[in-house]
Amino acid sequence: MSKICQVTGKKAIVGNNVSHSKRRTKRKFYPNLFVKKYYLPEEERWITLKVSAAGIRTISKNGLASVLKESKEKGYIVNY
């Protein structure tokens, strides 16, 4: 499974390591991902999502059902 948040769509971005002598080498910045299980009361089952810290806050603020619907529309999640 790739390192992409299934709620917000955050993924790794590319940047530079900068040393003391200002020499630059390529590196990746990865999102802060967690594998979490949520209970979906509409379907009476547990689902497992790979979400970022921002995605966890979004779910707690807006609710799981609305976030799943929105992320499915945006194409971040195919099935759950």
CATH of the domain at 30: 2.30.170.40
CA distance linking residue 73 with residue 80, whole number of Å:
13
Residue 5 lies in a domain: no
Residue 41 lies in a domain: yes
- Our count of domains for the chain comes to 1
Cβ atoms within 10 Å, residue 10: 20
Is residue 79 scored above 90 in pLDDT? Answer: no
DSSP 8-state assignment for residue 73: H
Which percentage of the chain shows pLDDT scores above 90?
94
| pLDDT at residue 71, as a whole number | 96
pTM for this structure?
0.87
Residue 46 lies in a domain: yes
